[in-house]
Amino acid sequence: MTNKSANKMWGGRFEMSPDELMVRINASIGFDRVLAPQDIRGSKAHAAMLAETGIISKSDAREIAKGLDQIAVEIAEGKFKFSEALEDIHMNVESRLTELIGPAAGRLHTARSRNDQVALDFRMYVRDAASSFDLALGELQRTLAQKALEHAHVIMPGFTHLQPAQPVTFGHHLLAYVEMFGRDRGRFADARKRMNECPLGAAALAGTSFPIDRSETAKALGFERPTANSLDSVADRDFALEVLAAATISATHLSRLSEEIVIWMTPQFGFVKLSDKWTTGSSIMPQKRNPDAAELCRAKVARIAAAFQGLTMVMKGLPLTYSKDMQEDKETTFDALENYSVAVAAMTGMISDLEPMPERMRAAAGSGYSTATDLADWLVRTLKMPFREAHHVTGSIVRQAEQRGLELSELPLEAMQAEEKRITKDVFTVLSVENSVKSRKSHGGTAPQNVTKMAKSWLRRLEKGRSSG
C-alpha cells in the first residue's frame, strides 16, 4: 500500500516517506534559499523558451511567469513559507507555483532536471558575485589612489623583514595595494568570462529529446553561449572554485593591508589613526582603541581559503556526472563570498577614514640607517667604485655611526674619510630621507613626482572604467 505521506515530488517510485534524519541531511533549503532570484529568473527564461518552441502553450507560459513573479514578491516581502520537506529552493518554488496556478506548473520542468537547474542557479549566483566584486574592488582602488595622491610627499620607512630598509612615501606604499587589487579584479574578470556559458538544457546529464533552443535561454539569461557538453554542464563546479581561488588571493591582500594597519596603529609605531567608526574599546581598560575592523578583515582569509579547499576536496573524487556530494558546494561558498564582500567594504571604509601621522613616519624613516644604500650608490656614481666595494665601505661607516649613537647624516665627514679618503662633503646631499625618496625616479619608484603621476593615472583609469561600466 502506498504511504500517502510520501514525497509527491519524487513521483511513483517511492512508497515510504524518508527517515526524519534523512530529511535533515538531505535538505538544503536552509542555505540555498538565497538562490531564489536566480532560480526564478532561470525558470522564467526556460518557460518562455518552451513556449517559443511549441513544447508548452503560450498561455501556460504566461501563467507560469505570472506565478513566478508572485513568488518573487512573496520571498522579497518575507511571506514565503519555506519547507524542509521539499528539500531545496527548486522544489519549494515549484510546489508554491502549483498552489498558485495548478496543473500548468507541472509543465515548467519539461526538458529540465534539477541537475542543470541547480548548475544554472549556482553559476548565475557566482557570476553575479564576481561582477559585484569588480565594482567593490574598483571603489577600494579609488579610495587608495585618492589617499595616495593626498599623501604623495609623506615620507615613511620602507621595510624588509619588518626592519627599516629604505625611505619610501606613504602614497607609494598605498599604490602597491592598488596594483594588487587591480590584479584581483583581473582574476575575477577572467573567471567570469570563463563561466559565462549556460548549462540549462543539459537536463539530468545527457541532454533532452525535446526540441529546445538552448541559445535562446542562454541569451535571455545574459550568457554568451550554451555549454558544449551536457555531462560537463551538470558536473562542473570550476566556476565556483575559480572565484573562490580569486577571492582567497584577494583576501590575502586584504589581510596583509589589515596587518599593516594593526601594526601602524600601535603606540610604538603611531603611523596612523582610525576614528571611532572603525575601532572599539575595552570592557576593562578605558584607554584602549582597538583596530578590530582591521583584525576581522585579517581573519576573513581563513574562512575564504577554507571554503576553496573544502570545495576542492568535495570535487576531487567525483565521477561524472552529478552526485549528492555536490550539495556541499554551496553553503561554504555563500559564506565565503559574503564575508569577502564585507571585508572589501570594510577596508574601503577604513582607508577612507585613515589619517597618517607624518611626523612619526618621518622620524621612523630617518632611523635605522635607512639611507645607507644611498651612500653606497653615491660611492659608485661619484668615486666609480665597484658596488661590492661600496657596500663594504658603507657597512664600515654604518658601524662607526652605530658605535657613536649617530645617524649617518650626523656622522662627521672625517669619520667617513677614515674609511674612504675620497669622500667629500657632497655626500651629505644624499643622506637625508627627503633627498633619498626624491632620487628614486626610476619607473615604479617611490619619488613623490612618480607617486603623484601614478595616482592621477590610476584615478583617471578608474573613473573611465566606472563611466564605461
**Cα 363 to Cα 256: distance, rounded to the nearest angstrom:** 24
H or E stretch covering 155: strand 155-160
CA-nearest of 221, 44, 195 to 129 is 195
In the set 57, 59, 282, 396, the catalytic residue is 282
Amino acid at 327: Q
CA-nearest of 284, 343, 333 to 310 is 333
H or E stretch covering 197: strand 197-198
**Cα 30 to Cα 25: distance, rounded to the nearest angstrom:** 11
**Cα 245 to Cα 223: distance, rounded to the nearest angstrom:** 22
- For residue 169, what are the β-bridge partners? 155
Would you put residue 422 in left (φ > 0), alpha (ψ -120 to 50) or beta? alpha
Amino acid at 181: F
Cell numbers placing 195: 563561466
SS3 of 348-405: the string is HHHHHHCEECHHHHHHHHCCCCCCHHHHHHHHHHHHCCCHHHHHHHHHHHHHHHHHHC
H or E stretch covering 160: strand 155-160
Is 46 an annotated catalytic residue? no
Is 392 an annotated catalytic residue? no
Would you put residue 369 in left (φ > 0), alpha (ψ -120 to 50) or beta? left
In the set 5, 161, 209, 283, the catalytic residue is 161
Residue with cell 533549503: 29
Cell numbers placing 167: 625611505
Pair 116, 231: CB distance under 8 Å: no
Q: Mind telling me the catalytic residues? A: 161, 282
